Each structure stands twice: as structure tokens, then as C-alpha cells.
């Protein structure tokens, strides 16, 4: 009879290997790019160990870690690289759940069916998933990947660059839990069932808030693309002044792509009003004071001064579109509900949108080289601005839609004061019309 350890490995060995492999794939990708840039740069004085440690530090930063350098701590999360740990955890969680379906009895979970050699994906089911198996698989994937990140942080720790172990633990656990939960629920075909298990009072505001925040980010990304296209000559001139060469240009392009989602969120904070910090300076629509900036050509696209008066109308497009999306989502999710009930859910959805924006702004901001060298927006101000602006726009849109619906479909309510007064006016006018011919005759 096999012992407990071989039996546990037989049940969960494939899941552990999959979690390690998917997480290590991101590390290998970053190390490959860094080593290629280092190997082709003939003027670099760094050795292969230094290049490998830089790649590992970038991988740790992508997990939300803080790396302490001699010049100060660095905790700016490159959101473009942060997709790697989430995708790794999601992939590992999906594979673990798919393997767990084969061990479940038919009455406890859906079994994949297919005629080919490759097993088909499990069908989507509306029945609740086996929550015990879901929790076990999520804990297995998240725990394995968190341990791997901690091991790498301990290995690459050096006086020149020392990762903060607590931030490594919190960041790796947060990313792995998020991705593993999505992947495991998707593997069991239970994402829809888990979503519909939430009460409507929670599901409608959350869905509406997600629609509003997504629309704001999409419009902001479009605006960033337009600004980059308009300032392309300035960006190209800054790139030529750096004289980075072909290899250095590739490295600069990779860094700028990694922080491009950060820049989109910074521009959204600028659009909403609070703006964002640039080291010791700040950039707001009413005032611009740029301090020290990293040597990245993309920062040449920053506004040179305050926004003209006409520009405020352009910035107002973002909350107007998002607020309209929020109001429409609430109305679609509450058919037959009263106007006051909808207004209450609109306010709740605006508050949830503010919390989501506050979380996104906090993720996009960070320090680069010291306590005073903080880049990005202030989270609470962005959250308050987003919640207030979305609430105002959504309430106005909902009131206009409700008034239009009443005028078009139900102009007056039966038995109301307005209906009674209308009937009295019609009766008085008809009686006057009947008496008028008699008087004339």
C-alpha cells in the first residue's frame, strides 16, 4: 500500500507541476528578453549574473514586490508585466480543475465528453460546483506559485537589490489567488453559476460598475493613442537624444510597453480631475508642474501646460459615456423596478465604480528611487472623483430616460391628481361647448 506522500503526489502531482511550469514560463520569458539585450550590448559592463538578477527583479516587480535598491525602494508595478502571473495562475487553475473533473463521480460534477483523441471542454452548467474541490484546487495552485515566488526572491536577494519578503508574499498571493479562482471556476464550468448565485441587489450594481469602469478605460486608451500619435515627432526627437542604439531602443520599447497600461490609468486620473504625480511634481488639467522623469521617450507626450477652456469639454466626454453606460446597465438589469429603486442601485453602482477606480489607481502608482519619487495618481482622490461624476451623469440620464418612457408609454398614472384634474378640465370644456351653441341661438 503506498504511503500518504506518494498517494498525495499521485493525486496532485500534475497540478503542482503545472502551477510551477506556468509561473516559471513568465520568468523565462523576461530573462530571455533581458539576456538578449545584455548579450547584444557590447558596451555593457554588467556580467551575466547581474543581467539574470535584473530579469528576476523585473519578474518580482510584476508580482507586486518591492525591491530595495541603494538609491531607494522601487515598487512601481508594471501592469503590462502583471498580466503574466495572472495568466499563469489562470492557466494552472483551469488545468487543475479539468484534471479534478476526472476524479469526481458523475453525480457531483460535469464530465468532459468528446469523440476525438483530445478531451472536450466541460460544458457550462448552472448547478453549483463542488465548492470543496474548488477551494482545494485554488489553494493548491495559489500556494504552489506563492512558494515558487518566495524561493526566487530569496535566491536573487543581494545587497544591491533586496526584495522585501512581506511585499513578495502579499503580492504573489494576491495575483495567484485571483488567477487561480478564475481558472478553477472556468475549468469546472461554473463561472456563470457562481455569478448567478449572487443576489440581484449585488449582481446588478457590480455588473453596471464593471461596464462603466471598462468604458472609461477604453475611452482613455483611445485618447492616449491619439495623444501619442499627435506628439510622435517629440517622442522621436527624445528617442534620438538618448542615443540608445538598436538594442537599447528595443529595451526602451519593452519598458514602455510594460508601463503602457499604467499610463492609460494616469491619463484617466487626469481626465477625471485629480491628475497624477511625477516624482516631486504633478500633472493636472488646471496646472502642470513636471519634476524629474525617467528617461523614457513616451513622457514627451505629457501636456506642457494647463488645459485650455475648450479642453474641459473634451475631458467631460469620458464621464458622460461611462455614466450613460452605468445608467443603461442598471435599467436593463432591473426590468419592472421603480424609479427610486433604480436610482438607489445607480448610486450603489457609482460607489462600486469609485472603489474599482481607487484600486486600479493604487495599482498603477508607485515609487521609483525614494519616498518623494512617487509616480501616478492618488488612489482616494481618483475614486471619489469617479464615483461623484458617474453618479451625477447616471442619475441625470436615468431621470431623462424615465421621463421619456412615461411620456411615450404612460403619460399619466390612472387615479393620480393629474389625471383627475385633466378629467375635470375636459368635462368643463365639453359642457361649455354644449352651452355655447344654445347661447348663440
DSSP assignment of 176-208 equals HHHHHHHHHHHHTT-HHHHHHTS-HHHHHHHHH
Question: Are 214 and 356 within one domain?
Answer: yes
159-173, 347-361, 396-410: which has the minimum mean pLDDT? 396-410
Are 158 and 26 members of one domain?
Answer: yes
With 0-12 / 13-18 / 19 or more C-beta atoms within 10 angstroms meaning exposed / middle / buried, residue 376 is: buried
Which cell numbers hold the place of 212? 462603466
Say if 425 falls within a structural domain.
no
Q: Grid coordinates standing for 215?
A: 468604458
Residues 212 and 343 placed together within one structural domain of the fold:
yes
428 within a domain of the structure (yes/no) = no
Using CA atoms of 101, 106, 107, 109 in order, give the dihedral in degrees to the nearest 10: 20
Instruction: For 58-102, give the DSSP string.
Output: HHHHHTT--EEETTEEE----HHHHHHHHHHHHHHHHHHHHHHHH
Question: Which of the residue ranges 43-47, 254-258, 272-276 would you say has the lowest mean pLDDT?
Answer: 43-47
145 and 283 in a single domain? The answer is no
Task: Tell me the C-alpha to C-alpha distance, in Å, between residue 307 and each of 141, 264, 304, 318.
Answer: 48, 18, 9, 16
Q: In this model, does residue 208 exceed pLDDT 90?
A: yes
Domain boundary among 168, 197, 226: 197
> Domain check: are 391 and 292 in the same one?
yes
Q: What is the mean pLDDT of the chain?
A: 80
Q: How many domains does the chain have?
A: 2
pLDDT at 318: 92
Instruction: Decide which of 416 and 205 is more confident.
Output: 205
User: Has residue 417 been placed in a domain?
Assistant: no
Q: Which residue has the higher pLDDT, 235 or 38?
A: 235
Q: How much is the pLDDT for 328? A: 92
Q: To which residue does cell 488545468 refer?
A: 95
Taking alpha carbons only, the member of 127, 134, 72, 66 closest to residue 100 is 134
* Domain identity same for 23 and 75: yes
Residues 396 and 409: their CA atoms lie apart, in Å, by 20
| Nearest Cα residue to 153 out of 85, 19, 57 | 57
Can you tell me the distance from the alpha carbon of 380 to that of 390, in angstroms, rounded to the nearest whole number? 15
Nearest CA-CA partner of 98 in 144, 58, 137: 137
DSSP classification of residue 115: S
pLDDT of residue 362: 93
Range of weakest confidence among 148-152, 229-233, 406-410: 406-410
Average pLDDT over residues 54-69: 88
pLDDT digits (tens, 9 = 90+) for 83-127: 989 999 999 888 888 876 665 555 444 444 443 444 555 554 455
Determine which helix (DSSP H) or strand (DSSP E) holds 155, and give its type and residue range: helix 131-156
- Is 27 part of any domain? yes
State the Cα–Cα distance between residues 289 and 51, nearest whole angstrom. Answer: 35
| Of the residues 178, 197, 216, the one at which a domain ends | 197
422 in a domain, yes or no?
Answer: no
Shared-domain flag, residues 169 and 212: no
Dihedral sign for Cα atoms in the order 312, 210, 90, 186: negative
259 and 184: one domain?
Answer: no
pLDDT of residue 195: 78
**Cα dihedral across residues 36, 38, 42, 43: positive or negative:** positive
Q: Is 372 helix (H, G, I), strand (E, B) or coil?
A: coil
Residues 209 and 354 in one domain: yes
Q: Which residues of 10-21 are buried (b: 16+ CB within 10 A; e: fewer)?
A: eebeebbebbbe
Q: Is the per-residue pLDDT at 380 higher than 60?
A: yes
Q: Is the pLDDT of residue 295 over 70?
A: yes
Cell numbers at residue 17, please?
A: 507541476
160 and 207 share a domain? no
Task: Give pLDDT, residue 159.
Answer: 82
300 part of a folded domain: yes
pLDDT of residue 412: 39
Do 181 and 247 have their domain in common? no
216 — pLDDT class (breaks 50, 70, 90): very high
- Asked whether residue 242 is domain-assigned, the answer is yes
User: What range defines the domain where residue 251 resides?
Assistant: 199-410
Please report the sign of the dihedral spanned by the C-alpha atoms of residue 337, residue 341, residue 343, residue 347: negative
- Asked whether residue 431 is assigned to any structural domain, the reply reads no
User: Whole-angstrom Cα distance, residue 4 to residue 1?
Assistant: 10
Residue 170 or residue 311, greater confidence:
170
Which residue, of 137, 168, 197, is where some domain finishes? 197
pLDDT at 190: 75
Same domain, 287 and 252: yes
Amino acid at each position: 500500500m503506498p504511503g500518504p506522500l506518494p498517494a498525495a503526489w499521485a493525486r496532485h502531482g500534475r497540478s503542482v507541476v503545472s502551477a510551477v511550469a506556468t509561473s516559471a514560463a513568465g520568468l523565462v520569458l523576461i530573462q530571455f528578453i533581458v539576456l538578449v539585450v545584455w548579450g547584444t550590448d557590447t558596451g555593457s559592463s554588467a556580467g551575466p549574473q547581474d543581467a539574470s538578477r535584473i530579469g528576476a527583479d523585473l519578474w518580482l516587480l510584476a508580482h507586486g514586490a518591492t525591491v530595495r535598491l541603494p538609491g531607494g525602494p522601487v515598487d512601481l508595478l508594471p501592469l503590462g508585466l502583471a498580466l503574466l502571473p495572472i495568466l499563469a495562475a489562470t492557466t494552472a487553475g483551469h488545468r487543475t480543475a479539468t484534471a479534478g473533473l476526472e476524479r469526481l463521480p458523475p453525480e457531483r460534477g460535469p464530465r468532459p465528453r468528446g469523440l476525438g483523441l483530445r478531451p472536450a471542454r466541460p460544458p457550462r452548467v448552472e448547478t453549483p460546483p463542488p465548492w470543496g474541490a474548488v477551494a482545494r484546487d485554488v489553494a493548491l495552485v495559489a500556494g504552489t506559485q506563492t512558494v515558487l515566488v518566495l524561493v526566487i526572491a530569496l535566491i536573487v536577494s543581494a545587497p544591491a537589490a533586496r526584495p522585501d519578503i512581506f511585499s513578495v508574499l502579499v503580492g504573489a498571493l494576491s495575483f495567484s489567488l485571483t488567477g487561480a479562482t478564475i481558472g478553477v471556476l472556468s475549468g469546472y464550468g461554473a463561472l456563470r453559476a457562481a455569478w448567478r448565485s449572487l443576489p440581484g441587489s449585488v449582481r446588478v450594481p457590480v455588473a453596471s460598475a464593471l461596464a462603466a469602469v471598462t468604458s472609461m478605460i477604453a475611452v482613455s486608451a483611445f485618447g492616449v493613442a491619439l495623444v501619442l500619435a499627435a506628439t510622435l515627432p517629440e517622442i522621436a526627437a527624445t528617442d534620438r537624444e538618448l542615443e540608445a542604439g538598436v538594442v537599447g531602443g528595443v529595451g526602451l520599447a519593452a519598458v514602455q510597453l510594460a508601463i503602457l497600461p499604467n499610463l492609460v490609468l494616469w491619463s484617466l486620473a487626469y481626465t477625471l480631475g485629480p491628475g497624477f504625480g511625477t516624482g516631486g511634481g504633478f500633472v493636472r488639467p488646471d496646472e502642470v508642474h513636471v519634476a524629474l522623469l525617467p528617461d523614457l521617450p513616451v513622457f514627451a507626450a505629457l501636456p506642457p501646460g494647463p488645459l485650455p477652456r475648450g479642453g474641459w469639454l473634451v475631458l467631460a466626454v469620458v464621464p458622460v459615456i461611462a455614466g450613460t453606460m452605468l445608467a443603461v446597465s442598471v435599467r436593463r438589469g432591473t426590468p419592472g423596478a421603480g424609479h427610486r429603486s433604480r436610482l438607489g442601485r445607480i448610486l450603489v453602482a457609482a460607489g462600486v465604480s469609485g472603489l474599482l477606480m481607487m484600486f486600479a489607481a493604487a495599482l498603477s502608482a508607485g515609487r521609483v528611487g525614494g519616498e518623494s519619487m512617487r509616480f501616478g495618481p492618488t488612489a482616494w482622490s481618483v475614486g471619489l472623483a469617479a464615483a461623484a461624476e458617474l453618479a451625477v451623469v447616471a442619475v441625470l440620464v436615468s431621470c431623462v430616460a424615465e421621463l421619456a418612457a412615461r411620456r411615450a408609454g404612460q403619460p399619466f398614472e390612472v387615479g393620480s391628481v393629474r389625471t383627475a384634474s385633466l378629467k375635470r378640465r375636459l368635462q368643463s370644456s365639453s359642457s361649455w361647448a354644449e352651452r355655447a351653441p344654445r347661447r348663440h341661438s
